[in-house]
Structure 1
């Protein structure tokens, strides 16, 4: 086929099947990669929100602690 010689119908069918199978495998890999990217982005957003909430809780605890210390001064 690459040398330019004549090919049979069976060889051409096998070649076309190989091209189609390669394309399907490529599409599946691309879809898997896209799912991984979406899942990673969601995980990063979730981790960021957890950090924001923890920071907020620490700030609230600090404010409450500061207010309680001011109330005990003579």
Structure 2
């Protein structure tokens, strides 16, 4: 898999690699040089941040209307 380096030195990590490493927006990675001279990408921490839906799972509670639950899952204030 190839990618292009921008004028700012940035690259896009291919989706297949992001999926394999479990990284997403906000994830931190580290670049490590290996003895043979190659460089590897290592995810730091927990990997992909928890989605807003995962944080809401199991928190609807009793007595909420469908509209209230939908507003909660959409992030409406």
TM-score by length of 2: 0.25
Rg (Cα) greater in structure = 1
Decide which structure has greater strand share.
2
RCO greater where, 1 or 2, for CA within 8 Å and sep 6 or more? 2
Decide which structure has greater helix share.
1
TM-score by length of 1: 0.26
